Structure 1
Amino acid sequence: MPIIGYAPGGWDLFHVGHLNVLRHAKQHCDYLVAGVVDDAMLEQAKGRLPIIPALERAEIVSHIDFVDEVFIESQPDKLETWRRRPFDVFFKGDDWKGTPKGHELEARFAAVGVEVVYFPYTVHTSSTSLRRALTLLEPVLHEVTGS
């Protein structure tokens, strides 16, 4: 029986850290589903809309060799996501490992037979730092392009 893995993310401003998460996830399963968090959920979680809309982010992620399927998440409960798109392994960043939220996630998934596997983040690259750099460049780009 093939092992189905699920790797959720915003995948906004796709970068090497995102690629690494998907690469590592695929090494731990036979079939990888990449969850793409929709715009409303990202705005709720981050306090701002993503730069790239959900359907475009899903299109980008669907073309990554490690990804077998894309599922757009439209609600925050990961157990409900599992009910809508079942999987055997759930991949999460290691910033949750050992935290109350991580323990709760592990317990809820253990009750339905899903293993939680943690991966380290790529520290030197993040969508937040890319967004910050773009914000700093915005006045310069405006001056150069005149728009």
Structure 2
Amino acid sequence: MSERRVVGYVPGVYDMFHVGHLNILRNARLSCDHLIAGVVTDERAEAAKGKTPVIPALERLEIVRSIRYVDDAVIEDVPNKLQMWERLRFDVIVKGDDWRGTPKGDKLERDFAGVGVQVVYLPYTMHTSSTLLRQVLHTRIASGS
């Protein structure tokens, strides 16, 4: 009898793919046997973060799908992570530790406790983020460099 494989899900916008994204995908793969990355749509990203991604969703999907730690990549087009669980039936959901102890992280934990999904937090790469990259680009464009 073979052991049941553990399926992990790691949602994200993955805009302007950078080392922080790579780190979370690499480390998320350690929490499961099969990793699915959820790439948030442009509309969902704008609703959550107040800005449209620089890279369109289908291009972000293709980038994330090509990362060797990712077994499958899907578009996340729903507002609730439980809706993605209903589609994919994963065992572990992975988020950056910037969610831990926040209202959205607490809600995530409550929601997934009810269906037996483990929430795993991974270190957030503080020195690199899409927000920081946007700020650097904006500053350089504004200064003409």
2:65, 2:13 → 1: CA distance? 13
The TM-score with structure 1 as length reference comes to: 0.92
Q: State the partner residue of 2:103.
A: 100
Which residues in structure 2 correspond to 1:36-47 (within 5 Å)? 36-47=39-50
Q: What are the Cα deviations for residues 126-145 of structure 1, in whole angstroms up to 9, with x where unaligned? A: 1001011111222426xxxx
1:57 has 2:60 as partner? yes
Length-normalised TM-score, structure 2: 0.93
The answer to whether residue 9 in structure 2 is matched with residue 6 in structure 1 is yes
Residue segments in structure 2 that go unaligned for 5+ positions in a row: none
Are 2:116 and 1:113 aligned?
A: yes
Deviation by residue 1:16-58 (Cα, 9 ceiling, x = unmatched): 0000000000011000000000000011111111000000000
2:118 counterpart letter in structure 1: E
Amino acid at match of 1:5: G
User: What's the counterpart of residue 144 of structure 1?
Assistant: none
Q: Distance in 2 between matches of 1:99 and 1:46?
A: 16
In the other structure, the counterpart of 1:133 is 136
CA RMSD of aligned residues (A): 1.1
Q: Once superposed, which parts of structure 1, at least 4 consecutive aligned residues long, lie more than 3 Å away? A: none
Structure 1 residue matching 2:39: 3-state secondary structure:
strand
Partner residue in 1 for 2:21: 18
Q: What is the alpha-carbon distance in structure 2 between the residues aligned to residue 102 and residue 70 of structure 1?
A: 23
Q: Which residue of 2 aligns with 1:30?
A: 33
Which residue identity is paired with 1:9? G
Deviations 1:68-125 (A, max 9, x none): 0001011110001110121000001112212333222112101111000001101110
Which of residues 86, 92, 96 is equivalent to 1:89? 92
Q: Aligned partners of 1:102, 1:49: CA distance in 2, in Å? A: 23
Aligned sequence identity (%): 57
- Please list every run of 5 or more consecutive structure 1 residues that lacks an aligned counterpart in the other structure: 142-147
Q: How many residues align?
A: 141
Task: Tell me, in whole angstroms, the C-alpha distance in 2 between the residues paired with 1:119 and 1:21.
Answer: 7
